[in-house]
Amino acid sequence: MIQATDQNNNFAETPLLFGRVLDGRGGGRRIEWDEVGHWEPEADGEVLWVHLCRNKPGVYKWLQDQMDVPEPTAELLTSDATRPRAFREGNTLVATLRGINFNPGAEPEDMVSMQLWSDGQRLITLRRDPLQTPRDTLAEIDRGSGPSDAGALITSLTENMIARMNASIVDMNDHIDLLEASDPEAEAESMLVKIAVIRRNCLGLQRHMGPQHVAFEAISREAPAWFEDHDRREIAETIARLRRYLDDIDISKESAVVLMDELRARAVASSERTNYLLTIVAAIFLPLGFLTGLLGINVGGMPGMNDADAFWVVVALCVTIIAAQIVFFWKWKWL
């Protein structure tokens, strides 16, 4: 309820989606937009965290005037250049990360970007489209079990972002398991469509999560001194988990490829079997067609024209030809 109130009160008038002042013990108190610009810590260990909608008017200027963010960095934080990256700028850490898009109508590969800037006492996160990851960390803070400083806050955001990625991978694997249990004869077309979607999702996740892996490594390597050793260990664990998830995506993609190849092989085999049967039928009736065509020519001297038993003689001859063909085809292993 607190989260919903934060968003409803602030989103319409200001860029602030929510704000908290961390107390250094896992909890935090709410802060309003008009307090953010002149905030100063009232006790040791306090950290300001504000989450903004970056496409609201005035955010770019506010970053420069109130937070003393250099112009190029402010432009990066408010731009649509969302390729994951991270770098150190003096005593500040700047990063662009991407999370899974769970908004209605979105596909997993439609990633949502989140920019962050922190000087160790203040952390600013920005997004354009709704992103659930900051809300997960906010819920931890409101329960009193959240991060205690800026470094832990950044690692919490990255951990929650990767955890949601895992949920998407598990969901794709569940779909692959269902497809493997389906009847390929009855649902081949729909299965191929679903497999194509899964492969596209895997490729999209790989395309965005590869650079994210590099960004996490840059945070661990280049973050200022306020990003402590335990924070670096936490981000190292997140990097290792991301590597495993990237391996899982490879496995999911390969499973989808194998399943698609199997369906296509079945379709080709079925088509070849049908063509083979049609060829055999044509081969059987080819001499019969020649015989009946020969006997059907309208010229004088045709044998049996005045014989009442001639028709049955022709039928017996046709049956004999069919029987002989079947024997030869069986001997030649065509049947």
252-289 pLDDT tens trace? 888 888 888 887 877 777 788 888 888 888 887 888 88
**In this structure, are strands 16-22 and 28-30 parallel, antiparallel, or unpaired?**
antiparallel
> What's the pLDDT at 311?
80
Distance CA 228, CA 133 (A): 22
- Rounded to two decimals, the pTM is 0.70
CA distances from 79 to 36, 109, 204, 281, 322 (A): 22, 20, 21, 68, 78
Rounded CA separation 252/259 (Å)? 11
Q: Which of 33-47, 120-134, 301-315, 320-334 has the lowest mean pLDDT?
A: 301-315
Question: Does 162 score more than 90 pLDDT?
Answer: no
The number of beta carbons lying within 10 Å of the beta carbon of residue 14 is 18
C-alpha closest to that of 17 among 114, 148, 149: 114
Regarding predicted confidence, which is higher, 323 or 52? Answer: 52
Is 103 or 47 the better-scoring residue by pLDDT?
A: 47
